[in-house]
Structure 1
Amino acid sequence: MPNLIIFIISVFFLQCKGEDNSDQESAEAKRIRQDLLIEKYVGNCAEKFSYRYQMSEWQHCLDEGLKEDSTVAYLWQQKAMPYFKARKYEVGMKYLDKAVLYNERSWLSYRAFIKCVFAKTYREAIKDFEKCIQNEGNTYVMDHTYQFHIALCNLQLNEFEKAETIFKKDIEEQEQEWGEAHYIDLFYYGISKYEQGKWEEAIFEFDKSLKQYTQFSDAKYYKAICLGRLNRTEEFKSLMIEAKTDKNEGYSINEDNSIYETYPYQIIW
């Protein structure tokens, strides 16, 4: 009798193991099938058109792919993306939400970024970024950390002290890992101090940013204002002229997406 029980348990275990392998094979088969759909409906269809002036053709290709499999997250993201660049945020977001639904790991941080820089729904962006940090740690999206983007959202919500605290910690971690922080991070850290009237401290951060990007017109502009608030009038006038010259020559915030959106505190002359 004990041998029979052992036999039955063994058979049950092998069946379960076989089912697990089958599931893994099905997942791999699904991935391959979906990759082929992406190649067919994005690479060999949508990308033959320009969404700038052939939006209907672009969207038609993706819709045909979604008819075959509505769970392909990348097809939903590709539907969303051109609407954000056209500043049709609500239209794009309903598609991006689908991408997150079907592949949160790949697209949650992207949605958080879109909410922060494009749609400007800052509290919603913070929620997404906090979930990203919970799932992955403080990693990167669009060349900047999740904490950087949370701090940027706080700047835009006039939570200046909170933004300063987050920038400070994030920059210290970058400096420990890489030796220096990105000049954009330093610029916005300076802005968080500028907004609190910490003129000397703000100048210190703007100078660190300008050390990396010497013609950064926006950093020069806000540094000039700080100098003016400190009654350093001649320095203010001279630097403001420099800032305008650099801006006219195209030296401003040069993030990849700055061609689509004006970034926070970016100066429009």
Structure 2
Amino acid sequence: MKYFYFLILLFPFSSVIAQPNCEAYKYYGDTLKYEACKKAMGIKGHYQFSKEYQTLLDESIEIDPTFDYAYWAKSIAYLKSGDFVTWKKLIDKAVEYNPKEHLGYRGWCRYQFFRDYKGAIRDIEKLDNFVDYDIGQSQNGTYHLNIAKGLCYKAIGEKEKAIAILEKQIKLNEQENFIGANDYLHLGVLYLETEKFEKAIELFIKQSENNELAENQYYLALTYKKLDNLNEYKSCLEKAKELYIAGKKMSDPYSNPMDKIYLENIENEIKTAYKNGYN
């Protein structure tokens, strides 16, 4: 089965949201936006932190203060540099002038970088209400935005709602034969946390078949522990350690993914197993 596992780094964000077609503005008679667009396209080849890059976008905005692309492109450097206040002002302008294009991006950034779960939910749900087509993937390509929304609901304590959202989107993903890299893992952890242990095992096995991770074996071990299957518990912990050391673990260059674990977690659980005589 294929799974959606692109890792589109933050740095080439400008290639993720498509550049506007300036000629389309000209075709529809919007000469102001056409000129603003042509000016903005001058950023190609310039470093995002450079004076030239920012100046060209400022000039584009001066031509047409409603040209959303210029605000979005300008905001990238501020997100990278950690100036989140300026980033927020700029991306809010982009959303104001073109919500369909930028709500998903802003919602994902709220989730990934700021842990603003309620804000992310609002943006993703608002986008879903705006459009009559699939709302698409997260900015880094790892998650469908509905999966991200479900994880946000988990983060604010609404686990049953999170489960319903993940179940629905995973079913849709399966129909397209296009499963997210961590989808089964996250749903499995939710089942574990809500004491649906058999369902959790089913999802962790599916995760193993699609994209085996140290986290997957770790949570599978905890599930077997809950069911007093101590042989499988210990075996999965050993597999989790092997996978972690081999680098087969959840990763993100800019934030810690939800349900991520560390080698210390595995080793502490192994120590607990031996201390309690699970040999």
Matching residue of 1:171: 170
Say whether the 8 Å CA contact 1:133–1:146 is kept in structure 2. Answer: no
Contact 2:214 2:241 in 1 (8 A): yes
1:265 paired residue among 247, 259, 263? 259
The Cα of 1:220 is off from its aligned counterpart by 1.6
Q: Tell me the secondary structure at the aligned position of residue 93 of structure 2.
A: helix
Query: What's the CA shift for 1:157?
Result: 1.0
Q: Shift of residue 64 of structure 1?
A: 4.5
> Does 2:130 align with 1:141?
no
Greater relative CO, 1 or 2 (CA 8 Å, sep 6+): 2
- CA apart distance, 1:108: 1.1
CA distance in 2, matches of 1:61, 1:210: 48
Pair 226,131 (structure 1): closer, same or farther in 2 beyond 3 Å: same
1:85/1:260 contact within 8 Å kept: no
Other structure's SS at 2:182 match: helix
Asked whether the equivalents of residues 221 and 240 of structure 1 are also in contact (C-alpha less than 8 Å), the reply is yes
Aligned partner of 2:115 among 107, 114, 120:
120
Conserved 8 A contact 1:186-1:208: yes
Counterpart code for 1:225: L
Counterpart CA distance in 2 for 1:63 and 1:244 is 51
* Residue type of the alignment partner of 1:211: E
Structure exhibiting the larger radius of gyration computed from Cα positions: 1
Unaligned runs of 5+ in 1: 1-22
Q: How does 1:1-269 map to 2 (within 5 A)?
A: 25-27=28-30, 29-40=31-42, 42-44=43-45, 48-49=46-47, 51=49, 59-137=54-132, 138-142=134-138, 143=141, 144-176=143-175, 178-179=176-177, 181-214=179-212, 216-253=213-250, 258-269=252-263
Letter in 2 for 1:173: L
After superposition, what is the alpha-carbon deviation per residue over 1:215-241, rounded to whole angstroms, capped at 9, x for unaligned? x12212211211222222232223223
Cα pair 2:48 2:54 within 8 Å, conserved: no
Residue 173 of structure 1: how far off its partner (Å): 2.1
Change (3 A) 1:200 1:89: farther
- The percent of aligned pairs where both chains have the same amino acid is 26
Deviation (angstroms), 1:199? 2.1
Distance in 2 between the 1:220 and 1:83 partners? 38
CA RMSD of aligned residues (A): 2.5
Q: 1:50 to 1:139 in 2, by over 3 A?
A: closer
CA shift at 1:159, angstroms?
0.9
Q: Which amino acid aligns with 2:150?
A: A
Give the TM-score, by structure 2 length: 0.74
Structure 1 range deviating more: 113-122 or 134-143: 134-143
> Structure 2: where are the runs of 5+ without partners?
1-25, 264-279
Please state how far the C-alpha of 1:105 moved relative to its aligned partner. 1.7
Output the CA distance in 1 between the equivalents of 2:131 and 2:179: 21
Aligned length: 234
Aligned partners of 1:221 and 1:243 also within 8 Å: yes
Per residue, is there more helix in 1 or in 2? 1
C-alpha distance in structure 2 between counterparts of 1:181 and 1:125, whole Å? 22
Distance 2:257 2:83 in 1: 17
Report the secondary structure of 1:71's partner residue.
Answer: coil
